[in-house]
A and B are shown apart, each in its own frame.
Chain A
Amino acid sequence: MARINLDHIRHAYGPNPKKPSDYSLKEVHHEWNDGGAYALLGPSGCGKTTLLNIISGLLQPSEGKILFDGKDVTNLSTQERNIAQVFQFPVIYDTMTVYDNLAFPLRNRRVPETEVDRRVTEILEMIGLSDRAKKKAQGLTADQKQKISLGRGLVRSDVSAILFDEPLTVIDPHMKWVLRSQLKRLHKQFGFTMVYVTHDQTEALTFADKVVVMYDGEIVQIGTPAELFEKPKHTFVGYFIGSPGMNVLPAKIDGSSVDLDGQKVNLSFAPKFAAGAKMELGIRPEFVRLGREGMPVVISKVEDIGRQKIVRATFANKPIAIVVHEDGEIPAEPKITFDPNAINIYADSWRVGGEA
């Protein structure tokens, strides 16, 4: 187990990067706690896997240092860093049995055979493949193969960290849930430092203590699921987390009053921002109240998704989503108000606070 420090890491795949856009991974400088469960969340191509491979040592960062427990490991190989990693698509050794597949990482490290047997039996039990232990791994289904890959990641008890690169992509939804809970249980039991890459917000929010949201090669926010929901630091986080995502409306700000294309909203604080910045107001659909009071909207569509209804409407010439409880009433002349505590103000897409 280890504390991971990412010290001014940058990475470019091409040689001689000059512009910021040459970097696939823009500067990352963070400390990740020992025994933490982190999820790297972001759309495809945002640098999640690059960052993961830099931590595991499969990739050398162009700039910066990585420290495990304060020790510089930047130039160490994956093996020397003692990392386990599970990949997106199952990697199995076709010619070996399921048992030998799981024993492979241990035998390569000359672990005594009695210990190998104990660990492998335990993992086989956990991934539910005990009855196939002596079978060749070749004939298994994709999700069984991926369980073997997961098992190989978990079989070593002394790893510094376990990295998961979208490991549940090929697994069917029911099994996904089961495996995720097992991972979470293991994390609680053994306290591994776990880093989990995914583009699925549910997966990230349920798995991790801290979610690292990445966008365009940059970490835009690290926070607990609640922080990401209530105080998204960047409009991207607001849009990416939550379903539907946050409403972001262009705004003109004067002191503590906001002008949304003619509609006025008062804030409980006066945001501080540089002159000329592009200002926006963000409000989650859950905090928009639909009723007979407030600002007028024109409803275009109501989606019933069971426990809730999502109302799509036009407000101040912009589309807006509103979440209404399943038996919430939709008035004939609909008007909306914003929950004042749930309003976030963004200057050039970044959240700004203010003096209260």
Chain B
Amino acid sequence: MEKTWNNKAWFMVLPVLVLVAFSAVIPLMTVVNYSVQDTFGNNQFFWAGTDWFIQVLQSDRFWDALTRNLIFSGIILAIEIPLGILIALNMPKTGLGVPFCLVFMSLPLLIPWNVVGTIWQVFGRVDIGLLGYTLDAIGIPYNYVNNVFDAWVTLIVMDIWHWTSLVVLLCYAGLVSIPDAYYQAAKIDGASRWAVFRYIQLPKMKRVLLIAFLLRFMDSFMIYTEPFVVTGGGPGNATTFLSIDLVKTAIGQFDLGPAAALSLIYFLIILLLSWIFYTVMTNSDAQS
């Protein structure tokens, strides 16, 4: 059959191109524009070259915030992934418990981020919050407003409360897709509970775990709303993550040049780390 050659296909992709242009390319290019120029208002721009990038990369403020980000993501991944697997393994596979558990699990995911922040902000308050008040009443000193450790614990517990469900649901989807014959064969082969997990469940969950890991890493690395609502980046700068720092620079100080440079660096870090994780994890798959 003769193949038809014409340019109609361009019309098909045009809406997507327009959408992507307005939602991603144009804003990104605006940021690039700011990052290499300096302005004092009146729409007058002066070429700055790589000055802003050098300034950001040489500031302690940037490296401190980046370190906080990495520690935060590291901690929540180390807790949420194993905890999510554990909960998914113990969820019912059949019966009335299934819809109940699924709805129950998705609840935290349905709550808007700033509401999650507000809930925990109030929950943890020493004067009126149930958690803060109770802890104080039973003699455990707790105050997320002026204690660095307490502020971090609050943010981490809040993130676990909010996002472990996502890991659970993904793992659960991986688990229910395992045919019964695998479990029956394992029984017949005399496999222990651990061997079933190690050789059947974990390998079958590998792909969804990769997705869970990437999603949780990217999201936690970009965390903004919840710490902004709960701690506002304090006490001091103890919970000032890159995103909070960025907003302070851009909107607070109105340093558009350094803020633009910081956004681009921030973007590249997430892109690079996600790419590394993805490559490492899929390569270990391909090697076998």
CB distance A108 to B187 under 8 Å?
no
Does A104 belong to the interface (CB within 8 Å)?
A: yes
Q: Which of B185, B192, B203, B288 contacts A91 (CB 8 A)?
A: B185
Q: Mark A279-312, 1 if CB is under 8 A from B, else 0.
A: 0000000000000000000000000000000000
Residues of B within 8 Å of A198, CB to CB, are none
Shortest CB distance A59–B (Å): 10
Contact partner of A108 (CB less than 8 A), chosen from B182, B192, B200, is B192
The complex places the Cα of A95 from the Cα of B200 at a distance, in Å, of: 9
Closest Cβ–Cβ distance, residue A259 to chain B (whole Å): 53
Residue among A85, A96, A109 with the highest chain B CB neighbour number at 10 A: A85
Task: Tell whether, in the assembled complex, residue A79 and residue B190 are in contact, meaning their CB atoms are under 8 Å apart.
Answer: yes
Q: Is the CB of A108 within 8 A of B189?
A: yes
Interface mask (B175-216 → A, CB under 8 Å = 1, otherwise 0):
000010110110111111001000110011000000000000
**Contacts known (A94-B203, A108-B195); A136 close to B185, Cβ less than 8 A:** no
Contact indicator B191/A104 (Cβ below 8 Å): yes
Cα distance A104–B184 when bound, in Å? Answer: 14
B 202-235 contacts with A by CB, 8 A: 203-204
In the assembly, what is the distance between CA of A95 and CA of B199, in Å? Answer: 7
A276 within 8 A of B: no
Tell me if B187 and A77 are in contact (CB < 8 A).
yes
Number of A positions contacting B (CB below 8 A)? 26
Q: Which residues of B contact A149 (CB under 8 A)?
A: 185
Q: With both chains docked as a complex, state the minimum distance between the C-beta of B143 and any C-beta of chain A, in angstroms.
A: 48
A85–B184 CA distance with the chains assembled, in angstroms: 9
Q: In the complex where A93-B199, A108-B195, A136-B288 touch, is A87 in contact with B187 (Cβ < 8 A)?
A: no
Find chain B residues with CB under 8 A from A136 CB. 288
- A109 partner residues in chain B, CB cutoff 8 A: 190
CB within 8 Å of B: which A100-150 residues: 104-105, 108-109, 136, 138-139, 149
Q: Tell me the B250-288 residues at the A interface (CB within 8 Å).
A: 288
A105 partner residues in chain B, CB cutoff 8 A: 188-190
Q: How far is the CA of A104 from the CA of B191 in the complex (A)?
A: 8
Identify whether the interface residues of A are mostly helix, strand, loop, or mixed: mixed
Asked if A56 meets B199 with Cβ closer than 8 Å, knowing A136-B288, A138-B288, the reply is: no
A78 CB–B CB distance under 8 Å: yes
Given contacts A95-B288, A108-B192, contact A78 B187 (CB under 8 A): yes
A251 interface residue (CB < 8 Å to B): no
Cα-based distance from A121 to B288 in the complex (angstroms) = 22
- Within the assembled complex, what's the spacing in Å between the Cα atoms of A187 and B181? 25
List of A residues within 8 angstroms of B288 by Cβ: 94-95, 136, 138-139
Query: Complex formed: what's the CA distance from A53 to B192 in Å?
Result: 20
Does A83 count as interface, using CB distance less than 8 angstroms?
yes
Indicate if A89 sits at the interface (CB-CB under 8 A). Answer: yes
* Contact (Cβ within 8 A) B187 A58: yes
Q: What 0/1 pattern do residues 156 to 192 of B give for CB contact below 8 A with A? A: 0000000000000000000000010110110111111
Contacts of A88 in B (CB 8 A): 181
Q: Please, which residues of chain A bring their CB within 8 A of the CB of B187?
A: 58, 77-79
Nearest A residue (CB) for B195 = A108
| A85 partner residues in chain B, CB cutoff 8 A | 184-185, 188
User: Least Cβ distance of A248 to chain B in Å?
Assistant: 37
- CB-CB < 8 A to B179: which residues of A? 89, 91
Q: Tell me whether A199 is interfacial, beta carbon within 8 Å.
A: no
* A54 at interface, CB cutoff 8 A: no
Report chain B residues within 8 Å CB of A79: 187-188, 190
Closest chain-A Cβ to B7's Cβ sits at a distance in Å of 43
**A residues in contact with B185, CB < 8 Å:** 85, 87, 91, 149, 152
Measured CB to CB, the closest approach of chain A to B194, in angstroms, equals 11
Q: Is the CB of B181 within 8 A of A89?
A: yes
CA distance A78 to B185 in the complex (A): 10
Chain A nearest CB, measured from B238 CB (Å): 42
Could you tell me if A108 and B190 are in contact, using CB atoms closer than 8 angstroms?
A: yes
Hey, what's the 0/1 contact readout for A65-92 against B, CB within 8 Å counting as 1? 0000000000001110001110111010
Cβ contacts under 8 Å, B204 to chain A: 94
The answer to whether B188 touches A84 (Cβ under 8 A) is yes
Chain B contacts of A139 at CB under 8 A? 288
Distance of A70 from chain B, by nearest CB (Å): 23
User: B-side interface residues toward A, CB under 8 Å?
Assistant: 179, 181-182, 184-185, 187-192, 195, 199-200, 203-204, 288
Q: Which are the 10 A-B pairs with shortest beta-carbon distances?
A: A108-B190, A91-B185, A105-B189, A136-B288, A93-B199, A87-B181, A78-B187, A94-B203, A95-B203, A85-B188
- List 28 A-B residue pairs with CB atoms under 8 Å apart, sorted by A's residue number: A56-B188, A58-B187, A78-B188, A84-B188, A85-B188, A87-B181, A87-B184, A87-B185, A88-B181, A89-B181, A91-B181, A91-B182, A93-B200, A93-B203, A95-B199, A95-B288, A96-B199, A104-B189, A104-B195, A105-B188, A105-B189, A105-B190, A108-B189, A108-B190, A108-B192, A138-B288, A139-B288, A152-B189
List A residues at the B interface (Cβ < 8 Å): 53, 56, 58, 77-79, 83-85, 87-89, 91, 93-96, 104-105, 108-109, 136, 138-139, 149, 152
Please give 16 more A-B residue pairs, beta carbons under 8 A apart, in addition to A83-B188, A87-B184, A152-B189: A56-B188, A77-B187, A78-B188, A79-B188, A85-B184, A85-B188, A87-B185, A88-B181, A91-B182, A91-B185, A94-B203, A95-B199, A96-B199, A104-B199, A136-B288, A138-B288
